[in-house]
């Protein structure tokens, strides 16, 4: 897929105030660690994740999605009456019905002719939303589109800790499938796309590619509890998922370079889905890229699901990771297995609203 008329005009993020260290999680897992004689520090040692953040208990994701979306609108300078689509792309949502996007739309005061809906695809929901909004802009159906989402790993992490401590039948092999759940964090991100005629930055979304390998769709599964009041748990074959996911990414990257008419040397900067240290190392080895062109947040934010890549991009842009003329690759990988890779020709950052912690809406 190629775009001639789409610009990535603004990208924003919001972070929770509460910071939870990996050491604190291990402290809460003391009954399990003592029973299985597990060494302290293994969580950070194996993943490279020192901390993650959580939203307050009961805080609906739609509230913070509206905060992040407002930041993107303000930063872009685009009249909100021009926004013709609002897509909410995170796994977390306010309720099953109606779409979480409806409440976000109401909070933002967007036009009543704006398309409003949710997209769900594990860690790729927001990138899938970007592709859909870009398609609508390219086709002339809308002038601008807003993609937003908010994730909160608190419930999953706390349920996993409780399960691991309570089930005394678990051995070292059994707990491996729950380990990835302890890396999940929280955050929020928004991306505003517009037609190039509206753009003040000239940051072109050039196009990209998608690839899937659904034979591996059972390597990471969660939320399939048999009872409505059962805790949220997730089972992940982390080693196989990493290996197979990176293999699919390698094939997708070859397609991506061909579609963009780029070589590996043409990729100046990257933003990737944030999983862990081993995943990042293997991914860049497989793609033939230098890790130094990447911007990473996994060490202090953990795996924040669908908002991990755009939130990292927002933080990286604020910290000067992109320079005018850079060709940036957005490398998204999600369970399923699904891959979305997008190419951006960067010119300049918009003026950012306050973009760090919390907010109200």
Q: Kindly report the number of other CB atoms within 10 A of residue 39's CB atom.
A: 8
SS (H, E, C) 333-353: EECCCEEEEEEEECCCCCCCC
Q: Is the pLDDT of residue 172 over 50?
A: yes
Task: For strands 269-272 and 327-334, give the pairing.
Answer: parallel
Helices (H), the chain: 22-28, 30-36, 42-47, 61-76, 100-108, 125-138, 154-166, 238-260, 277-287, 298-301, 308-318
Query: 123 an active-site residue?
Result: yes
| C-beta separation of 295 from 316 below 8 A | yes
Per-residue exposure over 313-329, b if at least 16 CB sit within 10 Å of its own CB, e if not: bbbbbeeebbeeebbbb
The structure tokens 């960067």 sit at: 346
Model pLDDT, residue 351 = 67
CA pair distance 121, 81, nearest whole angstrom:
28
**pTM of this prediction?**
0.94
Q: How far apart are the first and last CA of the chain?
A: 36
**Arithmetic mean of pLDDT, 146-152:** 98
CA pair distance 348, 351, nearest whole angstrom:
10
Structure tokens at 356: 């760090």
Structure tokens at 146: 């807003």
Structure tokens at 233: 């748990």
Q: Which residues pair with 344 in a beta bridge?
A: 205, 328
Domains in the chain: ranges and CATH = 6-195 (3.40.47.10), 204-345 (3.40.47.10)
Model pLDDT, residue 360 = 46
Q: What are phi and psi of 114, to 5 degrees?
A: -80, 130
Burial class of 286 by CB neighbour count within 10 A (0 to 12, 13 to 18, 19+): middle
Q: Is the pLDDT of residue 361 over 70?
A: no
Say which range, 21-25, 64-68, 230-234, 286-290, has the weakest mean pLDDT.
Answer: 230-234
Of 123, 194, 220, 272, which residue is the catalytic one? 123
SS (H, E, C) 173-188: CHHHHHHHHHHECEEE
DSSP 200: S
Model pLDDT, residue 241 = 86
CA pair distance 306, 244, nearest whole angstrom:
19
Digit-coded pLDDT (tens) for 112-135: 999 999 999 999 999 999 999 999
Mean predicted lDDT score pLDDT of the chain: 93
Digit-coded pLDDT (tens) for 50-102: 999 999 999 999 999 999 999 999 999 999 999 999 999 999 999 999 999 99
CA pair distance 45, 358, nearest whole angstrom:
29
């Amino acid at each position: 897929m190629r775009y001639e008329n789409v610009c990535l005009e603004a990208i924003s993020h919001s972070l929770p105030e509460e910071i939870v260290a990996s050491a604190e999680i291990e402290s809460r897992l003391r009954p399990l660690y003592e029973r299985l004689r597990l060494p302290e520090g293994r969580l950070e040692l194996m993943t490279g994740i020192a901390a993650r953040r959580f939203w307050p208990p009961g805080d609906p994701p739609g509230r913070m999605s509206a905060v992040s979306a407002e930041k993107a609108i303000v930063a872009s300078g685009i009249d909100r009456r021009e926004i013709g689509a609002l897509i909410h792309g995170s796994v977390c949502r306010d309720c099953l019905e109606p779409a979480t996007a409806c409440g976000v739309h109401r909070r933002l005061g967007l036009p009543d002719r704006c398309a409003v809906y949710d997209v769900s695809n594990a860690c790729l929901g927001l990138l899938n939303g970007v592709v859909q909004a870009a398609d609508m802009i390219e086709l002339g159906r809308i002038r601008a589109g807003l993609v937003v989402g908010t994730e909160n790993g608190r419930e999953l992490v706390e349920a996993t800790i409780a399960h691991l401590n309570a089930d005394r039948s678990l051995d070292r092999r059994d707990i491996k499938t729950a380990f990835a759940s302890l890396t999940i964090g929280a955050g929020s991100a928004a991306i505003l796309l517009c037609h190039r005629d509206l753009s003040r930055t000239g940051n072109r979304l050039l196009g990209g590619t998608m690839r899937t390998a659904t034979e591996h769709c059972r390597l990471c599964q969660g939320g399939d509890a048999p009872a409505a009041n059962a805790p949220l748990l997730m089972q992940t074959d982390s080693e196989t998922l990493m290996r197979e996911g990176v293999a699919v990414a390698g094939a997708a990257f070859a397609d991506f370079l061909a579609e963009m008419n780029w070589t590996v040397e043409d990729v100046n900067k990257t933003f990737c889905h944030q999983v862990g240290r081993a995943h990042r190392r293997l991914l860049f080895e497989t793609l033939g890229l230098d890790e130094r062109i990447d911007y990473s947040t996994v060490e202090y934010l953990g795996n924040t699901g669908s908002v991990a890549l755009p939130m990292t991009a927002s933080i990286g842009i604020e910290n000067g990771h992109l320079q005018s003329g850079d060709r940036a690759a957005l490398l998204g990988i999600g369970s399923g297995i699904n891959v979305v890779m997008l190419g951006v020709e960067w010119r300049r950052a918009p003026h950012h609203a306050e973009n760090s912690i919390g907010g109200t809406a």
